[in-house]
Amino acid sequence: MKQKKQKVMVYILNKKGKPLMPTTRCGHVRKLLDSKKAVVVSSNPFTIRLKYDTPNGVQDVFAGIDSGRENIGSGASNEDGDCLYLGELKTSNKSIKMKITERAGFRKERRRHDRQNKQRKARKDHTEIQNGNADICRTTISCKSVQISYPAAEKSVTHKIIRGKEGKFANRHRDEGWITPSARQLVQMHMNDLKSMCKILPISHVTLERVAFDFQKLENENIKAWEYGKGKLYGYDSPEEYIHDVQGGKCLICGKPHIDYLHHIIPRSKGGSNKVSNLAGLCYDCHYGPMGVHNCQNTQDRLPELKNEANKQYKVSLLNSVMPVLIEEMDKFCKANSIIFSICEGHDTAKVRDIYDLQKDHCVDGFAISLVGRNVKSVDVMPDRIHQKQRYKKKSKNIIKKRNCREYYDGKKLVAVNRHKGTDQKADSLEEYMNTYAETHTADECKKHFESLTVKPARRTYTFHKEGRICPFHIGDKVRYEKKNKIKGNTKVETFICEGIRFPKDENKAKVEHNKTKSKKMKFCRVLEPGCTPYIDYRKLVLI
């Protein structure tokens, strides 16, 4: 196989900003810049705009997109098969569900506190429910409750102490073609990647690799066609019934003849699923006891072996639901811009890689996709670098930044956090601290010590959005920092991507964060280019 040449690509725009064919003649580009016949538009990827009239004749440029959930690869080639562009886009798709869940937690917490305040007021004013069923509120408070059935609700709703607002179940409408936020963002990221290529290259053809995963085939390669509709829960009314049948009604750990809880082997907080392969039926002692899974790490570690099932997590399943919408959106964009759109399969990409001896990489796969079905003789030229982009969350309007834990102090020393231990909490809770203290002290000493503790309530930390203030910068913006030194007479200049914002009430102390640990004063910064998927860096392409 002939050795491929690596060259530096310079992308060119005409006088009106439309893309022309890129060049590798860096010396000629340098002369154009020195003679003021061209100006630099972008340094990554290096792009210039000509200041004189030129003919608009361009060759056909073929773009390929390697679809993915976390990493999207893209590449482009000319008519001869030489590579003109390689790019990678790192998405933030995995964090979307986490942030939605976090906001839902804040929302539910606020509504719960509002409801509890109303209940306390009703008790104080003696206006609580008088005629109802005997019930318990918040584990210790005796109260009355009523069951109310609402239209379109599957189950009745329990109202304790007070009658809450009427439940709303039939006022949620989703438009036709609705997809989940994670899927919608993934479609937008693929489209943004294509549009960014169209800004620097005269794209005439686009090829998208269609992704389709058969997860049941991955679990059982001998599956029959009629078995696809008959999963593990076929014939069972619920996961509880399935677990009870598979385990014979016995606890998975100790073998006692009763199951009290369904425990997630991989916790939901760490990405575990609700599939029966991730559920284990346990008794109370093995679940909450001293040697139970919540109090003993060794017991928790034994569960996967006892379950004897591979808890496979197919994170790319999102692509299966995204592909029809993505193909439709990309086809619509290509028709509007007179671009020929086509689709290929994964085996087509693998075949091209083998023919032209290309390495396995997201961006190189994008280049290989652009060669599918073209019968190019050879690939002689490759760029020397891969342009990297990253997706940032743009214009967040979150009011709550975080919820702080309740803290207990003995004088100035922090001794406990929260009344009961939270998920993944490392510090001792108040319950654990007092149990340890009681081992070496009398009951009276424990009571006296407990009453002497200082409590710092759990309060929320709010963002500047709560005060209605507007920040001139957003995460993902390309920022220019300029600070003049009046004594030395020089000017510090730096260009970076905004990764965080500190915007206190005193705007002189406001800062723009970058490179994870560095920050610059906001008053010396200005926005060069807004955006949510900027080019952040490049890495050298090493041919294998």
| pLDDT over threshold 70, residue 312 | no
| Claim to verify: residue 204 and residue 277 sit in the same structural domain | no
pLDDT for position 333: 96
Please give the Cα distance from 437 to 443 (Å, whole number). Answer: 10
Could you write out the DSSP letters of every residue in 297-324? HHHHHHHHHHHTS-----TTHHHHHHHH
Percent of the chain with pLDDT strictly greater than 90: 54
Q: What mean pLDDT, rounded, does the chain reach?
A: 89
Contact (CB, 8 A) for 156 and 117: no
Please give the Cα distance from 69 to 24 (Å, whole number). Answer: 33
| Claim to verify: residue 195 and residue 328 sit in the same structural domain | yes
Please give the Cα distance from 148 to 158 (Å, whole number). Answer: 7
Percent of the chain with pLDDT strictly greater than 70: 95
pLDDT for position 314: 52
Residue 198 placed within a domain: yes
Characterize the bridge pairing of strands 11-13 and 261-264: unpaired
The string over 472-492, giving b where at least 16 C-beta atoms fall within 10 Å of a residue's C-beta and e elsewhere, is: ebbbbbbbebeeeeeeeeeee
| Claim to verify: residue 356 and residue 381 sit in the same structural domain | yes
Contact (CB, 8 A) for 497 and 536: yes
pLDDT for position 125: 94
Residue 364 amino acid letter: V
Residue 269 placed within a domain: yes
Q: Which residue has the higher pLDDT, 317 or 55?
A: 55
| pLDDT over threshold 60, residue 313 | no
In CATH, what number is assigned to the domain containing residue 502? 2.30.30
| Claim to verify: residue 83 and residue 26 sit in the same structural domain | yes
Q: At 300, is the pLDDT very low, low, confident or very high (cuts 50, 70, 90)?
A: confident
Q: At 394, is the pLDDT very low, low, confident or very high (cuts 50, 70, 90)?
A: confident
pLDDT for position 226: 67
| pLDDT over threshold 60, residue 135 | yes
For the chain, what's the residue count? Answer: 544
| Claim to verify: residue 352 and residue 382 sit in the same structural domain | yes
Distances in whole angstroms, Cα of residue 147 to Cα of each of 129, 154, 158, 166? 12, 13, 5, 12
pLDDT for position 507: 86
pLDDT for position 228: 66
pLDDT for position 95: 84
pLDDT for position 419: 92
Distances in whole angstroms, Cα of residue 41 to Cα of each of 35, 50, 53, 88, 494? 16, 10, 17, 21, 16
pLDDT for position 310: 40
Residue 135 placed within a domain: no
Residue showing tokens 């004749």: 57
pLDDT for position 544: 76
Residue 518 placed within a domain: yes
The 10s digit of each residue's pLDDT in 26-48 is 999 999 999 999 999 998 899 99
The lowest-confidence range among 210-219, 376-385, 412-421 is 210-219
Residue 335 placed within a domain: yes
| Claim to verify: residue 258 and residue 301 sit in the same structural domain | yes
Indicate the residue among 280, 307, 334 that finishes a domain.
Answer: 307
Contact (CB, 8 A) for 192 and 533: yes
The 10s digit of each residue's pLDDT in 261-285 is 999 988 887 778 888 888 999 999 8
| Claim to verify: residue 443 and residue 478 sit in the same structural domain | no
Average pLDDT of 148-161? 85
The 10s digit of each residue's pLDDT in 219-229 is 667 777 766 67
Peptide bond connecting 45 to the previous residue in cis, omega within 30 degrees of 0: yes
Q: Which residue has the higher pLDDT, 346 or 154?
A: 346
- Round the CA-based radius of gyration of the chain to a whole number and report it: 31
Q: At 375, is the pLDDT very low, low, confident or very high (cuts 50, 70, 90)?
A: confident
Contact (CB, 8 A) for 525 and 499: no
pLDDT for position 1: 54
| pLDDT over threshold 50, residue 311 | no
| pLDDT over threshold 70, residue 315 | no
Residue 296 placed within a domain: yes
| Claim to verify: residue 284 and residue 346 sit in the same structural domain | no
Handedness of CA 252, 254, 256, 258 (dihedral sign): negative
| Residues in contact with 14: Cβ distance below 8 Å, sequence separation at least 6, in sequence order | 20, 49, 50, 54, 56
Residue 372 amino acid letter: V
Residue 253 placed within a domain: yes
Instruction: Say what the alpha-carbon torsion angle 456, 465, 525, 18 is, to the nearest 10 degrees.
Output: 140
Contact (CB, 8 A) for 98 and 110: no
Average pLDDT of 383-388? 94
Residue-range definition of the domain harbouring residue 295: 232-307
| pLDDT over threshold 80, residue 214 | no
| Residues in contact with 316: Cβ distance below 8 Å, sequence separation at least 6, in sequence order | 68, 69, 211, 213
Indicate the residue among 307, 328, 352 that finishes a domain.
Answer: 307
| Residues in contact with 338: Cβ distance below 8 Å, sequence separation at least 6, in sequence order | none
pLDDT for position 56: 84
Longest dimension (CA), the chain: 93
| Claim to verify: residue 380 and residue 510 sit in the same structural domain | no
| Claim to verify: residue 435 and residue 483 sit in the same structural domain | no
Residue 115 placed within a domain: no
Strand residues in 298-456 grouped as ranges (E): 340-344, 381-383, 385-390, 400-403, 407-410, 413-417, 454-456
How many folded domains does the chain comprise? 4
Q: Which residue has the higher pLDDT, 257 or 396?
A: 257
Please give the Cα distance from 368 to 379 (Å, whole number). Answer: 10
Classify burial at 8, counting beta carbons within 10 Å of its beta carbon; exposed 0-12, middle 13-18, buried 19 or more. middle
| pLDDT over threshold 80, residue 167 | no
| Claim to verify: residue 479 and residue 520 sit in the same structural domain | yes
Average pLDDT of 357-378? 92
Average pLDDT of 385-389? 94
In CATH, what number is assigned to the domain containing residue 383? 3.30.420.140
| Claim to verify: residue 491 and residue 418 sit in the same structural domain | no
Indicate the residue among 254, 287, 307 that finishes a domain.
Answer: 307
Could you write out the DSSP letters of every residue in 241-301? HHHHHHTTTS-TTT--S---EEEESS-GGGT---SGGGEEEE-HHHHHSTTSTTT-HHHHH
